[in-house]
Structure 1
Amino acid sequence: MASIKDRIRKLLGRNVKQQQTNGLASTHSNAVAQQQQPIVQHDGPSDSQQKTVQTQNREPIDDELKRVIAGLAINNNNALFLLQADARTPYYPPNPSSTGTKLSVNVSIPLGAPGSSITATIPQIAGGRIWFSIGAPLVFAVNPGPGLVEPSIFNPQDPNINTNFGFSEFTFNSSQLFVNISYVDFVGPPIALTLTDTSNATQHVSGMPANGLQTVANALVAQTQKDTRRWSSLIVNTSSGSNAAQLLRILSPNSGILLNPTWFQPYWQPYVDQVYTHYTSQPLTVNTQASFGNVSGEVNSQSNSLNLGAGGMFQKPTAADIFGCNTGPFATGQNSETNTIIPRLAAAFNRSTLLLTNSIPDGEQVSQYYTNPITNHYARIVHAANLDGKGYAFPYDDVVPDGGVPQEGALFSYSPALLTVAVGGNGAYAA
């Protein structure tokens, strides 16, 4: 999430004319039948703070699919917001006296039978998510604050743990709409995005095809057979009664480590040692892509610390540091220059490009990503499974050279007219 927030702040900081948005989000879904046609009509704004859209489902559905829309209402003091099941009425949960308090209203929006339409009225939202669940509605709760208790893949007691679900993240304000698909925590149902602006220009992120989850699983098994690491352990299956186990979701390495701290523990050490030895005799240059410009430095004589001057000292990272991008040398703090270096250094480790160029990210090319035998194979496999190769596979996957090809699967517009979020995989296309 840190990377996504950083990207939003960067976009908002650009010197452009801000325009009032004319629409927000619509969803088209056919998750189990695995067929998808994002045919959606926009009804137009209801006022300057809320937008209405119409959702049409044009394909057969073999299992129930629902959605939940949640975020912080920007024009209501950032109050916790959910949309009620009628897809029109806002719900602002009161501050409860105890943790795990159940919601007092139904916020699970059914997407309806083939050919049906749903009009949703959504206010401007920060930190928004459009959740999708297949076969069962998602269960949410509220903690004192109020704070939303979202579905968790980490808590085996979570009521949603055996539900097939996923989400798309977005921020929608008076300046822009920013939306992305994310695999930072796990891979779930295929999600595709199409964003049309007021000039009728269209952006698209294709996501995975209908068999994308199985494709990722197969590739992880093959990688484990090749290097004996825990890649196949990231696959999560479920079973119901006497039914055979079914593929439910795939964890990211960071999520796997959070659940099982010993996984991948020694995995990165040979590569990290090579990198730190390499830069004892030559400098590494990091383009901060900010006011600090290019920052250069070398590893000390003990080969255990990269000295980037005012940008900070970076000790050797562990597997948890590299996959998670937020601990050890990659933990952000008060030094703004350090905080601009962290994403670029963390991304170079995940993509294993530090022995291929001494200038990051400017010296890197997409074709060089993940080519070292020791790399983030989850990210490599996830990108390969996406029809256009795009989607957040780790927290700093939005780092690219100046003028480079984006990898993160994000869309944004300062004058959005319509966002279509399609679930299921068939019908998604490579832009």
Structure 2
Amino acid sequence: MTSPYSHLFTRRTLLTSMAGAVAAGSTLVSAAPRAVAESDAGPTMDSTADLAAAAAQGLPLTIVNNSGEFANHSVHLYIVGSKGGRQVRVTRRGTLAPVKLSDNHAGGFTDYAIPMAARGKTTLRLPSMSGRIYVALGHKLKFKAVMGADGKVALQHPAGWVESDPNYPVLHDFVEFTHNASGMYCNTTMVDMFSVPMTIRLNGAKDHSTGRMRDGGRARVFHALRNHPDFSRLVVGERRVIAPSHGLDTGRFPQHYFDHYIDRVWHTYQNKNLIVRTNAGTFTGRVSDHRLTFTGPASVSFAKPSTRDVLFCDGALAAPNDGTTGPVAAALGAGFNRSTLLSHRKQPTTHAAAFYDTTVTNHYAKAIHAATTNGKAYGFAFDDVADWASYIEDARPRHMHLTLTPF
């Protein structure tokens, strides 16, 4: 039987690899604006050589615009992230360059846009690094290099769920990746928002792909959520759908949406055991003194989470990379979002037919999964549990493809 935690290099570990140091007041998963801090000191000879070597060993990346809505000249690409503890970006010439304050120009923002080929495919090389490939349609994105509270330069990323963000009006989305000596790890993600339908494909030891929407899938997601009373305000015109986690923080989503379900879980497991199976072994939990406490390979205990904790998979459900608390927290977070904790006392539930089968559930994640051809998506941070995330990896990658699919 395949382990529910077969993918050890998940989006969460990918983001940790990408982050390096993070500027005060922001994170890579839940806060806005995003800023990833690095030193602005000029590159040493060694660091320059490292960046050049990373670019020279790059993985071929082909981008195809099949959106049907925008011509190539209206599609702008951005590849930003980290390499060797510093923030970097891929230039129009395909080289790797450090992010610097002096990159800010007119209007106080950088212009890191990489243009698409005039027609047909665009081919680049993806250096050894961790980061994101952003696509912006119709208008360019405004990234800003700033000085963080720790005295290091930080790059503010777009926050499409914040109305005051300069990129809020821009139609854009991104995929995440880590490319290193161990291979290529990448995903399409809707953890923050969903806007541009995209698919990724890796040729390597195997040929695999993920993220493709069914015909009309984007419209179905928008329609399903626009017609749900608790989720309707997450839909921003035809531009994007904001994840309920960010919607909660911006006043677009009910703050106590999951509270009654959480109370029922806590009450139910006062009187019977909750079983969680992980790679470390099997944990058995009960609620006592207001905490859900597990015994097994280690003693693991959780305070009752809030709706915000469930949606962000954080707070009381934070998952440290310790091999014990982390996997149990991930199973609980997935069980809450998929609403399987009351119907299945053995977690994680692996069969998608059991997911989202209650009135109170993460209808955002439900709609996105229903719209993909293989049923896989990253609708919340623990969606990798039981291998239902739009994530692929290859230890011997030869070529990556990113395709903007029809709207």
Task: Name the TM-score, length of structure 2 as normaliser.
Answer: 0.79
1:425 aligns with 2:406: yes
Name structure 1 gaps, 5 residues minimum: 11-44, 225-229, 238-246, 401-405, 427-431
Q: In structure 1, what is the equivalent of residue 396 of structure 2?
A: 415
Partner of 2:160: helix, strand, or coil? coil
CA displacement at 1:9 relative to structure 2? 9.1
Asked if the contact 1:353/1:364 (under 8 Å) is kept, the reply is no
1:208 aligns with 2:195: no
1:236 aligns with 2:211: no
1:169 aligns with 2:156: no
> Judging changes above 3 Å, is the alpha-carbon distance between structure 1 residues 58 and 323 closer, same or farther for their aligned structure 2 residues?
closer
1:391 aligns with 2:394: no
Q: In structure 1, what is the equivalent of residue 36 of structure 2?
A: none
> Judging changes above 3 Å, is the alpha-carbon distance between structure 1 residues 334 and 179 closer, same or farther for their aligned structure 2 residues?
closer
Q: In structure 2, what is the equivalent of residue 343 of structure 1?
A: 330
Asked if the contact 1:93/1:103 (under 8 Å) is kept, the reply is no
Alignment of 1:11-410 (within 5 A): 49-53=57-61, 62-63=70-71, 64-73=74-83, 77-86=84-93, 88-94=94-100, 102=108, 106-115=111-120, 117-126=121-130, 128-144=131-147, 145-197=152-204, 199=205, 201-209=206-214, 211-224=216-229, 230-237=230-237, 247-260=238-251, 263-290=253-280, 293-300=281-288, 304-309=290-295, 310-327=298-315, 329-332=316-319, 337-361=324-348, 363-400=349-386, 406-410=387-391
Q: Aligned residues: percent identity?
A: 26
> Judging changes above 3 Å, is the alpha-carbon distance between structure 1 residues 189 and 354 closer, same or farther for their aligned structure 2 residues?
same
CA displacement at 1:205 relative to structure 2? 1.0
Q: What letter is aligned with 1:398? A: D
Asked if the contact 1:101/1:141 (under 8 Å) is kept, the reply is no
Structure-2 separation of matches of 1:60 and 1:219: 22
Structure-1 separation of matches of 2:70 and 2:232: 29
Structure-1 separation of matches of 2:66 and 2:341: 48
Q: Provide Cα deviations, 1:104-124, integer angstroms capped at 9, x if missing partner.
A: 6x4211113323x54423320
Structure-2 separation of matches of 1:129 and 1:299: 40
Asked if the contact 1:280/1:299 (under 8 Å) is kept, the reply is yes
Q: What letter is aligned with 2:57? A: Q
Asked if the contact 1:135/1:164 (under 8 Å) is kept, the reply is yes
Asked if the contact 1:101/1:143 (under 8 Å) is kept, the reply is no
Structure-1 separation of matches of 2:365 and 2:404: 21
Task: Name the TM-score, length of structure 1 as normaliser.
Answer: 0.75
CA displacement at 1:321 relative to structure 2? 1.1
CA displacement at 1:357 relative to structure 2? 1.8
Q: What letter is aligned with 1:235? A: V
CA RMSD of aligned residues (A): 3.0
CA displacement at 1:259 relative to structure 2? 1.0
> Judging changes above 3 Å, is the alpha-carbon distance between structure 1 residues 149 and 178 closer, same or farther for their aligned structure 2 residues?
same
Partner of 1:223: helix, strand, or coil? coil
Structure-2 separation of matches of 1:341 and 1:49: 38
Larger Rg: 1
> Judging changes above 3 Å, is the alpha-carbon distance between structure 1 residues 111 and 210 closer, same or farther for their aligned structure 2 residues?
farther
CA displacement at 1:332 relative to structure 2? 4.2
Q: What letter is aligned with 1:271? A: Y
Partner of 1:389: helix, strand, or coil? coil
> Judging changes above 3 Å, is the alpha-carbon distance between structure 1 residues 204 and 188 closer, same or farther for their aligned structure 2 residues?
same
Instruction: Pick which of 333-342 and 266-275 moved more.
Output: 333-342
> Judging changes above 3 Å, is the alpha-carbon distance between structure 1 residues 60 and 190 closer, same or farther for their aligned structure 2 residues?
closer
> Judging changes above 3 Å, is the alpha-carbon distance between structure 1 residues 81 and 182 closer, same or farther for their aligned structure 2 residues?
same
Partner of 1:216: helix, strand, or coil? helix
CA displacement at 1:313 relative to structure 2? 2.6
Asked if the contact 1:213/1:249 (under 8 Å) is kept, the reply is no
Structure-2 separation of matches of 1:357 and 1:92: 49
CA displacement at 1:281 relative to structure 2? 1.6
Q: Provide Cα deviations, 1:16-73, integer angstroms capped at 9, x if missing partner.
A: xxxxxxxxxxxxxxxxxxxxxxxxxxxxx99863344455668976441111111112
Q: In structure 1, what is the equivalent of residue 44 of structure 2?
A: none
Q: What letter is aligned with 1:131? A: Y
Asked if the contact 1:67/1:111 (under 8 Å) is kept, the reply is yes
Partner of 1:112: helix, strand, or coil? coil
